[in-house]
A and B are shown apart, each in its own frame.
Chain A
Amino acid sequence: MPFFQSPLLFLLLFLSFSCTQLSCTGTEIQALLAWRSSLNHPGCLTHAWSYNTSNDPCHWEGIGCDEAGSIISLTIIRCSINGTLHKLNFSSFPYLTILHIEEEQNLHGEIPKEIGTLRNLQVLYLYDNKLTGEIPATISNLSNLSNLTIAANYLSGSIPSAIFLNTSNLHHLDLHDNNLTGEIPKTIENLSKLEYLGFSDNHLTGAIPRAIGHLTRLTKLYLDNNELNGRIPLEIGNMTALQYALFNDNNLQWELPATIAQLPNLSSLILKNNQLNGSINPYLGNNSYLEAIDLSNNNFVGMVPSALCRGGGLLMLWASNNSFNGLLPTTLKNCTTLILLELNTNNIRADISLTFGVHPVLTVVDLSENRFYGRLPSNWAENIVILNLEENEIYGKIPLGFLNSTQLQLLSLANNNLTGDIPEELTNSTSLIDLILSNNNFSSLPYIQAPKLETLHLSNNIFVGRFPLLQINWATLVTIDLGENKFSGEVPSWIGSSFPVLRILRLRSNQFIGNIPLQLSMLNNLQWLDLSNNNLTGPIPNILSSMHSMAVQIAQNRSYFDLHFIYKENIHLIWKGEKATYQENTALLNEIDLSCNYISGNIPDDLVKLQGLIFLNLSRNQLSGVIPHNIGNMTSLEILDLSINHLSGNIPQSMSHLTFLDTLNLSHNNLTGQIPSGTQFQTFNPSVFSNNDGLCGFPLPNNCSTNNSSIVHEVNNEEGDKKLEVIWVICSVILGFVTGFWAYFGALFWNISLRFAIFHFMDKMQDKMMKWFGWYLH
Chain B
Amino acid sequence: MAPTSLLISLASCLLFLSVSPALASNSEGEALCSFKSRLSDPNNVLQSWDQSLVNPCTWFHVTCDSQNRVIRLDLGNSNITGALGPELGRLQHLQYLELYRNNFMGKIPEELGNLKSLVSMDLYENQLEGEIPKSLSKLKSLRFMRMNNNKLTGSIPRELVTLSNLKVLDFSNNDLCGTIPVDGPFSTFPPESFENNKRLNGPELLGLASYDFGC
Partner of A659, one of B3, B14, B74: B74
Q: Which chain A residues lie closer than 8 Å to B11 at the CB level?
A: 316, 339-340
Q: Cβ of A725 < 8 Å from any Cβ of B?
A: no
Query: Is B44 in contact with A638, judged by CB distance below 8 angstroms?
Result: no
Q: Which chain A residues lie closer than 8 Å to B120 at the CB level?
A: 682-683
Complex Cα spacing A567 to B19, Å = 7
Q: Cβ of A661 < 8 Å from any Cβ of B?
A: yes
Partner of B3, one of A291, A342, A683: A291
Q: Would you call the interface of chain B mostly helix, strand, loop, or mixed?
A: loop
Query: Is A659 in contact with B76, judged by CB distance below 8 angstroms?
Result: yes
Q: Which chain A residues lie closer than 8 Å to B50 at the CB level?
A: 584-585
Q: Cβ of A279 < 8 Å from any Cβ of B?
A: no
Complex Cα spacing A107 to B61, Å = 49
Q: Cβ of A262 < 8 Å from any Cβ of B?
A: no
Smallest Cβ-Cβ distance to B53: which chain A residue: A584
Do A680 and B76 form a contact, CB below 8 Å, given A555-B44, A583-B20, A585-B59?
A: yes
Partner of A364, one of B14, B44, B53, B72: B14
Smallest Cβ-Cβ distance to A663: which chain B residue: B63
Min CB distance A554 to B, Å, is 9
Query: Is B64 in contact with A342, judged by CB distance below 8 angstroms?
Result: no
Chain B residues engaging chain A, CB cutoff 8 angstroms = 1, 3, 6-7, 10-11, 14-23, 44, 47-48, 50, 52-53, 57-61, 63-64, 66, 68, 72, 74-78, 96, 98, 100-101, 119-120, 122, 144, 168
Do A680 and B74 form a contact, CB below 8 Å, given A580-B58, A638-B61?
A: yes
Complex Cα spacing A661 to B63, Å = 11
Query: Is A556 in contact with B72, judged by CB distance below 8 angstroms?
Result: no
Min CB distance B136 to A, Å, is 18
Query: Is B100 in contact with A679, judged by CB distance below 8 angstroms?
Result: yes
Query: Is A585 in contact with B48, judged by CB distance below 8 angstroms?
Result: yes
Smallest Cβ-Cβ distance to B65: which chain A residue: A578
Query: Is B58 in contact with A565, judged by CB distance below 8 angstroms?
Result: no
Closest 3 CB pairs of A and B: A659-B76, A659-B77, A662-B74
Q: Which chain A residues lie closer than 8 Å to B17 at the CB level?
A: 342, 364, 366, 565
Partner of B47, one of A321, A575, A588: A588
Partner of B60, one of A340, A567, A614: A614
Smallest Cβ-Cβ distance to A409: which chain B residue: B15
Smallest Cβ-Cβ distance to A661: which chain B residue: B74
Query: Is B66 in contact with A578, judged by CB distance below 8 angstroms?
Result: yes
Query: Is B58 in contact with A585, judged by CB distance below 8 angstroms?
Result: yes
Query: Is A583 in contact with B7, judged by CB distance below 8 angstroms?
Result: no
Query: Is B1 in contact with A289, judged by CB distance below 8 angstroms?
Result: yes
Q: Cβ of A182 < 8 Å from any Cβ of B?
A: no
Q: Cβ of A472 < 8 Å from any Cβ of B?
A: no
Query: Is B77 in contact with A316, judged by CB distance below 8 angstroms?
Result: no
Partner of A565, one of B7, B18, B22, B64: B18
Most buried by A among B20, B47, B58: B58
Partner of B101, one of A344, A659, A663: A659
Do A568 and B19 form a contact, CB below 8 Å, given A292-B10, A316-B7, A638-B60?
A: yes
5 A-B residue pairs with Cβ-Cβ distance under 8 Å, sorted by A, are A316-B7, A340-B11, A588-B60, A660-B61, A680-B76
